[in-house]
Amino acid sequence: MINIAIDGPAGAGKSTIAKKIAADLGYIYVDTGAMFRALGLYMLRKGIDPSDGEAVKDNLSGADIDIRFVDGVQCVILDQENVNGLIRTEEVSDAASKIAVLPEVRKKMLILQRNIAAGHDVIMDGRDIGSAVLPDADLKIYLTASVEVRAMRRYKENLDKGIKADLEEIKADIRERDERDMTRSEAPLVKVPDAKEVDTSDMSIDEVVSYIEDMIRSIA
């Protein structure tokens, strides 16, 4: 099995890039953020404050999260329901980042993620894939971009979807999320020494895709 790890901060383009590469090369794309988001959604639905670590831990075992692949597309299943369409809101994103600081939460996710990687050629994106989930990955990429560029991308995405957006607010959210993801004690976002850093600030999506595909072809 070939395992490719892509880590990096929110908005660096990980999922867009990883999806395209997976489709081109016939790998399965695993979006680990979606699993944390599904668990965040579960807590919100139960009326649990995602910052309340004790309450989250107490309710963890009740959340049944599974991943299925339908025509190569990942579906996150929460208690038998496909929640793909419900996990992309700012509220769920914020909840995911908050619950992700808990070691108990990360352990639950890590088992699921390793099981998927053991059975398929995968390109898996997240924050701790190269450092914790797949430390023996065949290739590790650290995808990044400046806060300004990441905020502008999100701003345009929102406008395209007809969602009202405030650039300064988005920038502040991104900084806050980076800070939490990078400074938590459990599996923080780090660039591991054997990861190849790719700064996408001044690159188009296609440029990044072909750059990484060249790297994969050289090792696969």
Stretch in the footprint of ligand DC (CB under 6 A) among 32-40, 73-81, 161-169, 200-208: 32-40
> Using the rule CB under 6 A, is 137 a contact of ligand DC?
no
> Using the rule CB under 6 A, is 100 a contact of ligand DC?
yes
Name the minimum Å distance from CB 14 to ligand DC.
Answer: 7
**Do the bridges between strand 196-199 and strand 3-7 make them parallel or antiparallel, or are there none, so unpaired?**
unpaired
* Binders of ligand DC in range 40-99 (CB under 6 A): 93, 96-97
The residue with tokens 């339908």 is 70
Applying CB under 6 A, the site for ligand DC has a residue count of 14
Which residue in the set 5, 22, 48, 128 belongs to the binding site for ligand DC (CB under 6 A)?
A: 128
Residue 11 to residue 212: CA distance in whole angstroms? 18
Name the minimum Å distance from CB 36 to ligand DC.
Answer: 4
Residue 50 to residue 90: CA distance in whole angstroms? 13
Stretch in the footprint of ligand DC (CB under 6 A) among 31-39, 73-81, 158-166, 212-220: 31-39
> Using the rule CB under 6 A, is 10 a contact of ligand DC?
yes
Measured at the CA of 20, the angle between CA 22 and CA 155, to 5 degrees, comes to: 135
Phi and psi for 68 in degrees, rounded to 5?
-130, 155
User: Which runs of E-coded beta strand occur in the chain?
Assistant: 3-7, 28-31, 65-70, 73-78, 81-82, 122-126, 139-144, 196-199
Residue 143 to residue 14: CA distance in whole angstroms? 7
Which residue in the set 134, 181, 209, 212 belongs to the binding site for ligand DC (CB under 6 A)?
A: 181
> Using the rule CB under 6 A, is 32 a contact of ligand DC?
yes
Contact footprint for ligand DC (CB under 6 A): 10, 32-33, 36-37, 93, 96-97, 100, 126-128, 177, 181
